[in-house]
Structure 1
């Protein structure tokens, strides 16, 4: 079982956080079919991924690379590389969304995407990245823990760590140790 160190952020950040540093070394939590399957299961309320992860593997990795390049550039106040924005647009264009209307005692509107399963997942991820980079990307922070590279969008301006239980606790213990060491 793969343990994801941080989920529940914006979908684009959850995607980027699948490449943490564990034990000081970069790790790709989606590198194995099991890792990808488990991450897609964690994101099942936000993605329409099929049970067969091989169908979507390539598009998930492509969306993650585009997201990483865009977020890194924008966080440094730079323009994203030239291929990034058109790449995200193409992923969305492959599975356009439309509103499907029906009646159930009132008008019900449901967003529906056309395209294959891989195209739909790619479009959903690209849309999440677009929402992040067109909006709150300036507020995205990297965890202040020395050995952590996870990104988060703080709900509180004083938030410093990806997780109070994970990195925050380690920092508090380290400070305590430094104050009380003989």
Structure 2
């Protein structure tokens, strides 16, 4: 079975959280094995969110230990961002954890393709965790938290950033269309009942 990832947030930390989704009322993890995590990272590289040089040139070092640590990070990020999306303040222990990940792979910088990219100094695992932690802390520190929202579909667990105040869904293509179709079905059934009662 091929794993499908959805990248709607533009932020690797939110995209990591959104590797868990609800399907038929059950939480499904898109990162079920090391090969899924390797594919997720490669996809982010191909999209330009990361560059190969940030990982010492290789993503072939993904194993169960790396996957396990990424899932711990994902759980901390979910706690941090859900609390923030609900109007709370970021839990200090979550911020401390992210800062620890940055200390485990301090950053140097490299100029590439007209931009300055952070390059963690550490193992593949430490580098990956550091880059995701950096992205999450940037969301926390530059005022982006006010734009953090839960999807308007009550059956969806995804989060997204929006500063227009107009967006309601993680993705119009996914949840927006589902909710519109659901409302249309309810409305149509109501009209059918009215016609049959005449």
Does residue 147 (structure 1) correspond to residue 155 (structure 2)? The answer is yes
- Name stretches of at least 5 consecutive residues in structure 1 with no aligned partner: none
**Secondary structure at 1:141's aligned position in 2?**
strand
The root-mean-square deviation of aligned C-alpha atoms, in Å, is 2.5
Q: Matched residues in 2 for 1:29 and 1:101: separation?
A: 33
Counterpart position of 1:14: 15
2:125 is aligned to 118
TM-score w.r.t. the length of structure 2 is 0.78
Which of these residues, 130, 133, 149, is aligned with residue 137 of structure 2? 130
Q: How many angstroms does 1:176 deviate by?
A: 1.8
Asked which structure has the greater CA Rg, the reply is: 2
Q: CA deviation at 1:82?
A: 4.2
Residues 62 and 146 of structure 1: is their aligned pair in 2 closer, same or farther, counting only changes over 3 Å? closer
Matched, 1:75 2:85: yes
Matched positions, count: 177
In structure 2, the partner of 1:52 is 61
Worse overlay, 138-147 or 52-61: 52-61
Preserved CA contact (<8 Å) 1:12 1:132: no
Using a 3 Å threshold, how does the CA distance of structure 1 residues 127 and 101 change in structure 2: closer, same or farther?
closer
Residue 160 of structure 1: which of 161, 168, 186 is its match?
A: 168
Matched, 1:98 2:108: yes
- Which structure dedicates a bigger proportion of its chain to helix? 2
Question: What is aligned with 1:173?
Answer: 181
Which region of structure 1 is more displaced relative to structure 2, 168-177 or 16-25?
168-177
> Structure 1 stretch 142-151 or stretch 66-75: which is displaced more?
66-75
TM-score by length of 1: 0.84
Runs of 4+ off more than 4 Å: 107-110
8 Å CA contact 1:143, 1:151 repeated in 2: yes
Counterpart-to-counterpart distance in 2, 1:46 and 1:29? 19
